[in-house]
Chain A
Amino acid sequence: MTTPEWAAVLATAAGCYLLKLAGLLVPERWLEGERTARVMTLLPVALLAALAAVQTFAVGGHLVVDARVAGVAVAVVALVLRAPFIVVVAAAALTAALLRAVT
């Protein structure tokens, strides 16, 4: 139970649950400020964009252009065409897998 993975799983669970509970408990005015509201709206945007970018180009501490980039490019096309979530994800995986199979 003391492996880093379990620690991360349990700490994430505790943190995420407490945030949900805190939202139901704190007075509304705490988050009413305009600046706070804007940071709260944009925070998930920044995190998701960073996660997508890092996972497209990074391997450990290095930047690499490999089959993932082609997969993600196809995902972008699928998103522009308003494809459902599973299609976007599957198209990315299939593209990268096919590219690796033929190279």
Chain B
Amino acid sequence: MGLSIAVASGAYGLSFGALSTAGGLSVLQTCALSVLVFTGGSQFALIGVLGGGGSAVSGTASAVLLGVRNMVYGVRLAPLLHLRGLQRVVGAQLVIDETTAVALTGEATGGELARRAGRFGYWFTGLALFVLWNVATLVGAVAGEAVGDPRRYGLDAAAPAAFLALLATRLDSRPAWATAVVAALVAVAVVPVVPAGVPVLVAALVPVVAVLAGRRRPDEATS
């Protein structure tokens, strides 16, 4: 599991660095994103919106909204990790998809040994990925800058493909499929009428509306 995560993340970091500088950010800005943001989906969202002509505000909003899932991970990790003080300040940056998956692998079996393995896995995976992610970003960023027009190399098709690949792992239920299809349709539908970057934010309302509407049905049935 560790090696496959490392290979995938290295490739993902290379792609990010290349797309970021090909899309208009500097090498320094690209590397700053990987060090300071360190959550791939949000980084891709920001460069995607900015590269598509969206404003800094809509780019930031998309990226931060996509980062909300890390808060959910943090809530689940807190009782396992028992972080305090400086450990928590540093450890928080490592709360991402991969570290959460590794840390919670042994959760089902319970037991103190599994919890210790989970804590070790969290720190080891997190720190190793942090190094790998940032080295890969730098290499990709320098390569991306050398590319020139990103369209010539099809990099503008690589970005949506990357989002689809991230999405694919989450399409594990009927509501997830329905949300994905409706969100995509809504976003595309509003492209001509709202500023660049905003369609993604409009689509973020889809699950909120769906869940609120879904709750009303049982109430109506009982009344």
Q: A residues touching B (Cβ–Cβ < 8 Å)? A: 4-13, 15-17, 19-26, 28, 30-31, 35, 38-63, 67-68, 70-72, 75-76, 79, 84-86, 88-100
Contact = CB atoms under 8 A, between A and B. Distances in A.
Taking residues whose C-beta sits less than 8 angstroms from the other chain, chain B's interface range is 35 or more
A12 B158 CA distance: 22
Interface stretch (B68-76, B101-109, B110-118, B127-135): B68-76
Given A8-B60, A28-B75, A92-B160, A49 B155 contact: no
Given A23-B70, A46-B203, A71 B33 contact: no
Given A62-B191, A89-B161, A93-B154, A49 B39 contact: no
Contacts, number: 326
Nearest to A23: B74
A51 B43 CA distance: 12
B92 A11 contact: no
A75 B171 CA distance: 16
Contact of A43 (B63, B69, B95, B154): B69
Interface of B: 7-8, 11-12, 14-15, 24-26, 29, 32-33, 36-39, 41-46, 48-50, 52-53, 55-57, 59-60, 62-75, 77-79, 81, 83, 88-89, 91-93, 95-96, 151-168, 170-171, 175-176, 179-188, 191-192, 195-196, 199-200, 202-204, 206-208, 210-212, 214-215
Given A9-B29, A20-B95, A31-B72, 19 more contacts: A9-B25, A12-B63, A15-B64, A19-B68, A23-B73, A24-B78, A24-B83, A38-B214, A44-B41, A48-B170, A49-B187, A50-B199, A50-B204, A75-B160, A84-B7, A89-B161, A93-B154, A96-B158, A100-B152
